[in-house]
Amino acid sequence: MQVPVEIAFHNIDSSDWAETMIRNRVSDLERLFDRITSCRVRVDQRAKSNGTSIPPVVRIEIGIPGRADLVVSHEPEHLQRKYQRPDLQKAITEAFRIAERQLVGLKEQRQGRTNAPYSDIQNQRLGQVAEVQPDQDFGYLVTSEGSLLYFHRNSVLAGDFDALGRGDELYYVEGVGDSGPIATKVRVKTPD
């Protein structure tokens, strides 16, 4: 990490065990995703209700080159629904669990191994490119029923839009645009 970890406590006393736990969890994040440049953690006790403490909020801001900071923050109600007696330790654990999940997703996305092709598998269909206009950022595909569907360059999630040619097979999900049915979540079929 290029910038030392920043830990701040607001409306709550800082404690050595909490700071140690946070630093250990930040080290775990670094092992998980080695491109982290900075990490700021803020522990905030917002209020008290009827003499009982509302669980603290742990906000984590992770600096990663080439993108906006990844921010993890949850509301106290999240902890109250998940735990019978939420406390600072559970708040830290939950915030870092969410951060780890988001970093794993980002890492897989950057490596091209997202689970996105499988999330719409039941709605996914196979079609063929009928026409492509790379200079105008759109094309048409022919469905298995023989109808034409418009798709935009930004709808192509996997594959190279500029390399598409007539007859190339595409997986797509049919959606509704301003002027009728369109192809969304388009992925170029790769040879098996």
Compute the CA torsion angle 62, 63, 65, 66 (nearest 10 deg).
Answer: 80
Q: Checking DSSP bridges between strand 180-188 and strand 156-158, what pairing results, if any?
A: parallel
What percent of the chain has pLDDT above 70?
89
Residues 46-78 have pLDDT tens digits of 776 565 667 888 999 999 888 888 898 877 777
Place of tokens 């990663």: 64
Contact 133, 161 (CB under 8 A): no
Q: What is the band of 178 on the pLDDT scale with cuts at 50, 70, 90?
A: confident
List Cβ neighbours of 21 (8 Å cut-off, separation of 6 or more): 89, 92
Is residue 74 classed exposed, middle or buried when 0-12, 13-18 and 19+ CB atoms within 10 A define those classes? middle
Task: Set out the domains of the chain in order of their start, with CATH numbers.
Answer: 6-110 (3.30.160.100), 118-188 (2.40.50.140)
Cα(115)–Cα(55) distance, integer angstroms: 33
Mean pLDDT of the chain: 85
Eight-class DSSP state of 85: S
User: Is the predicted pLDDT of residue 165 greater than 70, yes or no?
Assistant: yes
pLDDT at residue 117, as a whole number:
47
The pTM for the full model equals 0.56
Residues 89-147 have pLDDT tens digits of 888 988 999 899 889 888 877 776 555 544 566 678 899 999 999 889 999 999 888 88
pLDDT at residue 130, as a whole number:
93
Q: What is the band of 192 on the pLDDT scale with cuts at 50, 70, 90?
A: low
What is the identity of the amino acid at 157?
L
Q: What is the band of 6 on the pLDDT scale with cuts at 50, 70, 90?
A: very high
pLDDT at residue 112, as a whole number:
63
